[in-house]
Amino acid sequence: MSRRREDDQLGLFGAPVHGDAPIDGTLALQPQLSAVPETDDADALAEQEEEDAEDAARAADQLLGTLRGLGLQHVRTLVLTRNRSVVVSLKGFELRLHEGFCAAPRELHAQIVRFVMAKKPWEKQAARQAILSFPLPKHTKPPRAPERTHPEDEPLAERLAEWHTRLNGERFGAKLQQIPIRISRRMLRRLGHYAPDVVGGGAEIAISARHLRRDGFASAVETLLHEMVHQWQHENGLPIDHGLDFRRKCREVGAVPRAKRPV
Going from the C-alpha of 236 to that of each of 57, 67, 75, 161, 176, the distances in angstroms are 20, 22, 13, 21, 10
Task: Give the residues across from 182 on adjacent strands.
Answer: 206
The residues spanned by each domain of the chain are 1-25+53-144, 145-253
Q: pLDDT band for position 142 (50/70/90)?
A: low
Least confident of 61-65, 99-103, 186-190, 228-232: 186-190
More confident of the two residues 143 and 168: 168
pLDDT > 70: what percent of the chain? 73
Comparing CA positions, the residue from 131, 192, 196, 128 lying closest to residue 156 is 192
| Mean pLDDT, rounded, for 141-164 | 86
List CB contacts of 249: < 8 A, sequence separation 6 or more.
229, 232, 233, 255
* pLDDT higher than 90, residue 213: yes
* 3-state SS class at 31: coil
pLDDT attached to residue 189: 80
At 221-244, the pLDDT tens digits run 999 999 999 999 999 988 888 889
CA distance 176 to 202: 14
Pair 131, 16: CB distance under 8 Å: no
Q: Give me the chain's average pLDDT, please.
A: 78
Q: Tell me the fold of 145-253.
A: Zincin-like (3.30.2010)
Using CA of residue 235, residue 240, residue 243, residue 246, what is the dihedral sign?
Answer: positive
At 66-96, the pLDDT tens digits run 999 999 998 989 988 888 778 898 888 899 9
Cα 27 from chain centroid? 27
